[in-house]
Amino acid sequence: MRGDRHIAAVTDAHFDLAAGQCLALVGESGCGKSVLASALLGLLPGNAETAGSAHLDGLDLLTADEATLARTVRGRRIGLVPQSPAAHLTPVRTVRSQLEETVRELTGIRRREVRTAAEAAAERAAFPVDHLDRYPHELSGGLAQRAATALALIGDAPLLLADEPTTGLDRDLVERTVDELKRHTGDDRALLMITHDLAAAERIADRIAVMYAGRIVELATAADFFGAPGPRHPYARGLLNALPEREFTPIPGMPPELGALPAGCAFAPRCARATTTCAGLPALGSGVACHHPVPEPVAIVKEQEATHA
């Protein structure tokens, strides 16, 4: 709720994520990605309403009470790399003390081994050991991000939720950070990465979910999304074509306000393929929610036709 208005921040978000997989959730700012993450952790404002279900190890995260979420979910079943690490870290305690406390709480390691385990967690996230005795306000944005990542990795949670984990990092550290997040998944853990960084998503994701105006408009394998045939939703294709290494062509217009969404396709006002059909809301059929999805390249179509001839 915003005042007396009901704002549908996320609607009809359907996806699954298996152990050993990384799903990258991408889209412009304000499309609902971080709201979805907050819903999974039970961290929405008190006036927010949720419906549906989100199951993890037999627990419905959307209906679980606060005590259950605090004691058995956050840190234990879901590790969080937050979007704003400065707000996530305790300002009056050193990074070392926060890591050691988390090690004791989540692993049960004996006191004499806590210090070593905390330093190992820092090293996993590329956080320099000689900065461990600093306070959060003494860290750069990139170092704060790595400290928060180190905290999230400690519990080896079945699901790691990384909300913009590469914010403030240079390209070398982006690659090191996302590689470590990918290694975390192993065979029995999963990674949900919310990001604007399509290069980081391409590096580690198995699947891509594209969100626009509170809805997932395309689900695709990373190989199909970044290779051939490429994204099928015009918005998803526009995101990819806006990259400097691609066409470097921005998507025209601005996203709609979530409190003033049209009845039909929310992307239609910005879409060159829109017709009167787009006045109706498209469903996520065959992985793309669009009345006029981008067709496969002609060369691929001709090859398929030749195969069936």
Where do the domains of the chain lie? 22-205, 232-309
Residue 3 is predicted with a pLDDT of 59
> What is the model's pTM?
0.87
DSSP annotation of 73 reads: I
- Band the pLDDT of 302: cuts 50, 70, 90: very low
Q: Is 159 exposed, middle or buried (0-12, 13-18, 19+ CB in 10 A)?
A: buried
The Cα–Cα gap between 190 and 78 comes to 10
The Cα–Cα gap between 242 and 184 comes to 30
Domain formed by 22-205, architecture = 3-Layer(aba) Sandwich (3.40)
Residue 303: pLDDT above 50? no
Residue 4 is predicted with a pLDDT of 66
- Band the pLDDT of 114: cuts 50, 70, 90: very high
Residue 82 is predicted with a pLDDT of 87
The Cα–Cα gap between 121 and 250 comes to 39
